[in-house]
Amino acid sequence: MSESATHEWGRIDTDGNVFVRTADGERQIGQWQAGTPEEGLALYVRRFDGLAAEVELLEQRLKSGSVAPDDAVKAIAKVRDQITDGEVMGDLATLATRVDALEPAVEKAREERQAQKAARTAEAEAGKNRIADEAEKIAAGSDWRNGADRLRTLLDEWKALPRLSKSADDALWHRFSSARTQYTRRRKQHFGEQAVAREGAAKAKEKLIAEAEALSTSTDWGPTAGQYRDLMQQWKKAGPAPRNVDDKLWKRFRAAQDVFFNARDEANKALDAEYEVNAEKKLEILADAEKLLPITDAEAARKAWHDIADRWEAAGKVPRARISEFEGRIRKVEQAVRAAGEQEWKRTDPEKSARADDMVSKLERAITEAEEKLAKAQAAGDAKRIKDLEGTIASNRQFLEMAQKAQADYS
């Protein structure tokens, strides 16, 4: 090659030797024989630009945190080799300065990664402690319906968390796993006991059904209805039978009751029809009874009531739906008659009348005696005595007036 070419950061001599300028002087980086020297310079500059692009990309990745610190260290070492021995042409000193500036960024990234890892580890440890705590709480409880589902959810949550150190992870897993095992064992025991209890309930209900069916043809309505109430209480106390038979048992038990109560209802309907005649009679009696109100003559009302009561009793029963109405109306008249009799007795009570007469007599005598004493005191001019006696007489006259009113009430 007889031609040469120069560049800001290097040259190619006439023999095809390629040199790059550095702070320490020129360094040969290769041989160029394939084309013109200008084409050679352009190739080595493009290689430098590619190396500079690698540095820029590494800067950006360190800034964004998208490159692992160890990978960044390897990339920096590779770039440094290219700056020192690579076949590139450019401002190697400035590029080396940029690469040197990456080392603090790598250390910062390493510290941030470690802090993030520590935070994730602490979060995972807290999460696994929470899961273990909740699992132990479930294991100690008796929520057999929702506990198993919740433990499955907790297991999924555990799997989603990162592992801790082997010792810490194993210790927490042991707590969680032990709680699940304890809950599963107690749950199986519970449902086993429940199955035994349900079988016992089924046998007890079979016996109750037999009793209910035996009573279904009874016509002793009152006592038998009471027996059915007792059977119902026993049914409730027996508890649930296995789910696949409990509804069937209930239908059989209910059917036996329906036979009895439907028959009783039909019998009551027949009685009600018969009692309608009695109801018509009692309506007539009620009309006579209610004519006594309001009572003005207690003695006449008492005599009339005796006849009404006898007629009422003789009229017989009325339909059940009308019992409350009829009883309420007749009781109202009965109470009025009784109240009038009691009031009349109080008014004519011989003992109270005698006490009232005695009180009037005593007060009259006391007033007469006080008046005689007053006359003597006036004749003697005894002012104090006169005042006392006048007060006594006035007081006795007030009591006399009240006693005379009471005496009038009993006359």
Distance of CA 359 to the CA centre of its chain: 73
Least confident of 10-19, 135-144, 204-213, 395-404: 395-404
Q: Specify the length of the chain in residues.
A: 411
d(CA 79, CA 90): 14
Q: Where are the domains of the chain?
A: 5-116, 120-194, 201-347, 350-409
Bond prior to 240 in cis (omega within 30° of 0): no
d(CA 411, CA 399): 19
Q: Which of 403, 398, 409 is nearest to 359 (CA)?
A: 403
Cα angle 86, 91, 94; round to 5 = 105
Contacts of 163 (CB under 8 A, 6+ apart): 124, 169
Phi/psi-derived region of residue 65, left when phi > 0, alpha when psi is between -120 and 50, beta in every other case:
left
> Quick check: 252 and 209 in contact, CB under 8 A?
yes
d(CA 317, CA 272): 9
> Quick check: 40 and 12 in contact, CB under 8 A?
yes
Is this structure's pTM higher than 0.85?
no
Mean pLDDT across 99-127 = 88
Q: Is the pLDDT of residue 111 over 90?
A: no
The pLDDT tens digits of the residues spanning 65-96 come to: 888 888 889 999 999 999 998 999 999 999 99
Q: What is the pLDDT of residue 88?
A: 94
User: In sequence order, what are the beta bridge partners of 21?
Assistant: 26
- Tokens 């007036």 appear where? 401
- Tokens 């927490």 appear where? 172
The pLDDT tens digits of the residues spanning 340-387 come to: 888 877 766 666 667 767 777 887 888 888 788 888 888 888 888 887
The pLDDT tens digits of the residues spanning 294-332 come to: 888 888 888 888 898 889 888 888 888 888 998 999 899
d(CA 57, CA 55): 5
Give me the amino acid identity at 235.
W
